[in-house]
Amino acid sequence: MRTQVGIIGAGPAGLLLSHLLHLRGISSVVLERQSRDHVEKRVRAGVLEQGTVDTLTAAAVGDRLRREGLPHQGIELRYDGAGHRIAFEELVPGRSITVYGQQEVVKDLIAARLADGGDLRFEVDDAALHDLGTDRPYVTFGGERLDCDFVAGCDGFHGVSRPSIPAGVLTEYEREYPFAWLGILARVKPSAEELIYARTDRGFALHSMRSPEVSRFYLQVPLGEDIDAWPDERVWAELKTRLETVPGFVLATGEITEKGLTPMRSFVAEPMQYGRLFLAGDSAHIVPPTGAKGLNLAVADVRVLTEALTQWYETGSGELLDGYSQACLRRVWRAQHFSWWMTTLLHTFESQDPYEQRLQLSYLDYVTSSEAAAKTLAENYVGLPFG
């Protein structure tokens, strides 16, 4: 087989890249280790930046997003017995976020690619990348060979793409946090119209949603926690303790349909390219979910890579391809800092002494009382403009 771009991974990055390339007349084949059913049901991020929504809409895959997504004009920071709204409509006019699950984005993209005759291969568990440092890279899988001009590694942190880069090429930066998030999905109407980020002495909690009938919650728990130690009754009791801290707020409870643990970590690999291989999304960088940046960074990477590949095929110039990593990393490191900042601002740390706790609360007071500080949070949260 031969194609122009071989794409490893059918998550949001790989699927969106394939779709955007198709719109530019560039062929691709997408190889995914998991089944289609698994990929379409994999619950991940749910907050889309303004730029991500605009990108999907412009690519004609935003119809269901516009119908079913939940636009939000603000978030609430809840601490010390009070709630404080960060009002996007006042701080960053014309920009907002939309709550729409990552798995829904994936479903929309798969449907679009298949409708356009896209070549998506699922359950490919033995893909291997070859000759990446030459102008004739290829991928082998299932006894077949896929020749291509370029390879896009969109297969996540544990995929085969990044490990295919020779030792000594990459510099890796990593930060592991001493806690995890216990996340649940519940069939219950959200108890608030917008996301609530709650900082308490018992730990962080997040009230989010996926639809008018489905809510999403997170609890800060110790790293290495046993999920079996959290039966439904304990989860709801702890969520109530951490969220019912302002007068009049009552948390609605219901059937928990999914439960999982997510270690909190930050990771960046530089550069994001080697020869004819270009990394995008989680294969190159990971952020803690506090800042809601993971999926949105993947979309930003793919936008840059699409423009670079389009320039190469239309003009033969490799200028944008050569600058791919540098262009992406500017945004990646801004998102890394914002995610780290949100994480340290809202979580409790076992190593904190009373002095550090008071500093944390003082900074929360500053963010919620200063228009300048609130605007910094708002413009980073809704996403910095592309370009």
The single residue of 100, 138, 197, 274 carrying the catalytic annotation is 197
Residue-by-residue DSSP string for 106-141 = HHHHHHHHHHTT-EEE------EEE-TTSS--EEEE
The single residue of 72, 207, 285, 347 carrying the catalytic annotation is 72
Told to judge if 375 belongs to the known catalytic residues of this protein, a careful annotator would answer no
Residue-by-residue DSSP string for 41-76 = H-----EE-HHHHHHHHHTT--HHHHHH-EEESEEE
Cis status of the peptide bond prior to 271, with omega within 30 of 0: yes
To 10 degrees, what angle do helices 50-58 and 294-315 make? 40
Q: What share of the chain is helix, strand, coil (3-state, %, to 5)?
A: 40, 30, 30
Told to judge if 197 belongs to the known catalytic residues of this protein, a careful annotator would answer yes
Cross-strand pairs, 144: 141
Told to judge if 247 belongs to the known catalytic residues of this protein, a careful annotator would answer no
The single residue of 19, 285, 293, 347 carrying the catalytic annotation is 293
The single residue of 12, 285, 289, 324 carrying the catalytic annotation is 289
User: Using the 8-state DSSP alphabet, how is residue 290 labeled?
Assistant: G
Q: Are 211 and 185 in contact (CB under 8 A)?
A: no
In this structure, the number of other CB atoms found within 10 A of the CB of residue 89 comes to 12
CA separation, residue 50 to residues 15, 237, 380 (Å): 19, 35, 11
Q: Are 306 and 17 in contact (CB under 8 A)?
A: yes
| CA 19 – CA 35 distance, rounded (Å) | 19
The single residue of 100, 138, 324, 381 carrying the catalytic annotation is 381
Told to judge if 38 belongs to the known catalytic residues of this protein, a careful annotator would answer no
Told to judge if 293 belongs to the known catalytic residues of this protein, a careful annotator would answer yes
Q: Please state whether 94 falls in left (phi above 0), alpha (psi between -120 and 50) or beta.
A: left
**What are the phi and psi torsion angles at 18 (to 5°)?**
-60, -40
Residues annotated catalytic, as ranges: 72, 197, 289, 293, 381
